[in-house]
Amino acid sequence: MKIVGFIVLVSTLISSCEENTDEGGMGSTADENLFSQVTQSDPFTSYTLFPNVDSIGMGTLNGSTAHRPLVRVSMNATAFNTLQNDSLPLGSSFPNGSVVFKEIISGGQTTLYAVMRKDSANAFSGNGWLWAEYYLDGRVAISVEGRGNECITCHSLEEGLQNDLVRTFERQN
């Protein structure tokens, strides 16, 4: 009996550690902070749809396969106010606090959130942005702590670099 109790204790300890670090868990404090920013303090439900882009569509760009089948992209006021004539002015970049938010829609339902938030002083930023993916309940699919290592190469393709890594500009009509 004692051995069984010990095994239960050890496996409980191991799984409670995993919850804090593994993908699919609640994530780190940095993940929780970003999720609460985009769902509570500056919620994506108040964002503006990315201008001149089909509200819901399937990207056909070089790299669009990363987010399929359908996507809906919006941005917060800080990001939107940076645009001139629906474009990012040449040579400029998004200021800190900008959020570009993508919902991945499958079977008529949003299944995943992909987030970019400009926070260049943050220890987890990659090329100035925080990068993360979340399930709707806040569980982490891709942690902020990866500093965009799974994201930045593809976001630098095509017109990515001139658009501060925001690729949806390439989908504008």
Which residue lies nearest ligand HEC, judged by its C-beta? 59
Choice between 11 and 90, CB closer to ligand HEC: 90
Q: Report d(CA 134, CA 48) in Å as an integer.
A: 20
Residue whose CB is less far from ligand HEC, 18 or 23: 23
Closer to ligand HEC by Cβ: residue 64 or 110: 64
Sign of CA dihedral 126, 61, 71, 96: positive
Q: DSSP state, 37?
A: I
User: Measured from the CB of residue 86, what is the shortest distance to ligand HEC in angstroms?
Assistant: 13
Smallest gap from residue 126 Cβ to ligand HEC (A): 9
The minimum distance between CB 99 and ligand HEC, in angstroms, equals: 8
In order, the DSSP letters of 87-121 are: BPPTT--PPTT-EEEEEEEETTEEEEEEEEEE-TT
CA 153-53-91 angle, to 5 degrees, is: 50
26 or 64: whose CB is closer to ligand HEC?
A: 64
Residues within the interface to ligand HEC (CB under 6 A): 59, 61, 63-64, 66-67, 71, 73, 100, 102, 114-116, 131-133, 142, 150-151, 154-155, 166-168, 171
Q: Which residues contact 117 (CB under 8 A, 6 or more apart)?
A: 34, 37, 38, 97, 98, 99, 129, 130
Structural tokens at position 11: 């496996």
Shortest distance in whole angstroms from residue 64 CB to ligand HEC:
3
- Shortest distance (Å) from residue 167 CB to ligand HEC: 4
C-beta of 15 vs 55, nearer to ligand HEC: 55
Q: What share of the chain is helix, strand, coil (3-state, %, to 5)?
A: 35, 25, 45
